[in-house]
């Protein structure tokens, strides 16, 4: 008995490939705004670039004067703004599966109609998944630059900051200073009281340093018990004053050690950026000043190339 071919035969592999090729061409050339938007957003994980693409596609559908986006990612505020504002505004809290991915605000001089607001919502519904991915990418980048114990930036972040600060100091002729702080006899703390107490002291030290500096300054965990403080627009003498303030703040820390209170001191080294200097040379001079502070009694501040 002969087999009778089925009326509904599945497409052959060449047919499938041809259909895929046609679908790809349609996807790339479609005039549909939502398809074009998602296609463009998928080309980058930069949150800033995604918001620029979103603004460009959205303004062609719903005219606006200003777009503002704000989101707290980790310990940092991410802000994107374009255009000038107006008296009328619409605000959207971007969320997906119960997780917030920022707030977007549109402004203009005329009131937004219900149809326009519906159009904005449709565009945002297409953009939310790429925006979520970009936010998660920012969070991952932050985690790679953050010390897990103290929550402050790590040595990798310091290396990047020194490079940027060197370029800015050269470009604008402004003084930038670096302070290295090393907790004195910290190995004894760990050996005597254990690493749990030692870790607590490191967290307290990081907190005291952050409270002792300006919002424009930044602190990094440079090593095991070593911290770095980057001071933009700060002269050598002002940097020394900051180092002394930090040293006194750390010396005031008290931790219950059982029979007696536990305290710790720190030694500080200061170096101000020199023209044409490599970032690592700048760091090495601060480290040399710290070395002198350690070998001249500890619990003091020394400035590179300064006899004191």
pLDDT in tens, 291-307: 999 999 999 999 997 44
Residue among 253, 176, 178, 168 nearest 208 (CA): 253
pLDDT at 4: 54
pLDDT at 247: 97
Whole-number Cα distances in Å, 9 to 13, 15, 22: 12, 12, 21
Q: Is a pLDDT exceeding 50 seen at residue 308?
A: no
Between 22 and 211, the more confident residue is: 211
Q: Is a pLDDT exceeding 60 seen at residue 129?
A: yes
Whole-number Cα distances in Å, 226 to 19, 267, 277: 61, 10, 23
Q: Please tell me the distance from the alpha carbon of residue 228 to that of residue 231, in angstroms, as a whole number.
A: 10
Which residues have a catalytic role annotated?
A: 225
Contact 88, 112 (CB under 8 A): yes
| Domains of the chain: residue spans and CATH | 31-144 (3.30.450.40), 155-303 (3.30.70.270)
Query: How big is the chain, counted in residues?
Result: 308
Between 255 and 132, the more confident residue is: 132
Instruction: Render pLDDT for 176-189 as a digit per residue (tens, 0 to 9).
Output: 999 999 999 999 99
Q: Report the 10 Å Cβ neighbour count for 220.
A: 27
Q: Please tell me the distance from the alpha carbon of residue 108 to that of residue 114, in angstroms, as a whole number.
A: 15
Q: Is a pLDDT exceeding 90 seen at residue 218?
A: yes
The beta-strand segments (E) located in the chain are 66-73, 76-83, 88-96, 99-108, 176-183, 218-221, 226-232, 255-256, 261-262, 266-272, 301-303
What does pLDDT average to over the chain? 91
Q: What is the edge-to-edge ordering of all strands in the sheet holding 88-96?
A: 76-83, 66-73, 99-108, 88-96
Q: Is a pLDDT exceeding 60 seen at residue 8?
A: no
Contact 41, 53 (CB under 8 A): yes
% of the chain surpassing 90 pLDDT = 79
pLDDT at 2: 55
Q: Is a pLDDT exceeding 60 seen at residue 190?
A: yes
pLDDT band at residue 3 under the 50/70/90 scheme: low
Mean pLDDT of 76-88: 93
Among 18-22, 34-38, 90-94, 165-169, the least confident range: 18-22
pLDDT at 9: 55
Q: Please tell me the distance from the alpha carbon of residue 247 to that of residue 293, in angstroms, as a whole number.
A: 12
């Amino acid at each position: 008995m002969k087999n009778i071919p089925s009326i509904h035969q599945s497409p052959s592999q060449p047919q499938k490939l041809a259909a895929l090729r046609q679908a790809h061409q349609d996807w790339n050339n479609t005039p549909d705004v939502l398809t074009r938007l998602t296609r463009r957003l998928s080309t980058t994980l930069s949150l800033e670039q995604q918001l620029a693409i979103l603004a460009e596609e959205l303004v062609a559908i719903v005219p606006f004067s200003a777009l503002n986006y704000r989101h707290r990612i980790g310990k940092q505020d991410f802000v994107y703004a374009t255009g000038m504002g107006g008296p009328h505004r619409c605000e959207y809290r971007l969320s997906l599966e119960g997780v917030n991915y920022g707030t977007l605000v549109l402004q203009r001089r005329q009131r937004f109609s219900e149809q326009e607001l519906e159009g904005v919502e449709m565009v945002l519904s297409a953009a939310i998944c790429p925006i979520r991915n970009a936010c998660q990418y920012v969070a991952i980048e932050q985690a790679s630059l953050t010390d897990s114990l103290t929550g402050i930036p790590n040595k990798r972040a310091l290396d990047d900051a020194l490079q940027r600060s060197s370029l800015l100091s050269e470009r604008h002729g402004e003084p930038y200073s670096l302070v290295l702080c090393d907790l004195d006899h910290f190995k004894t703390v760990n050996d005597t009281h254990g690493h749990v107490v030692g870790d607590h002291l490191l967290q307290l030290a990081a907190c005291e340093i952050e409270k002792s500096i300006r919002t424009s300054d930044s602190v990094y965990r440079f090593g095991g018990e070593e911290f770095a403080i980057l001071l933009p627009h700060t002269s050598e003498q002002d940097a020394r004053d900051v180092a002394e303030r930090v040293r006194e703040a750390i010396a005031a820390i008290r931790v219950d050690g059982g029979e007696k209170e536990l305290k710790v001191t720190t030694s500080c080294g200061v170096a101000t950026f020199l023209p044409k200097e490599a970032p690592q040379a700048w760091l090495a001079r601060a480290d040399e000043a710290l070395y002198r502070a350690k070998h001249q009694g500890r619990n003091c501040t020394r400035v590179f190339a300064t006899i004191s």
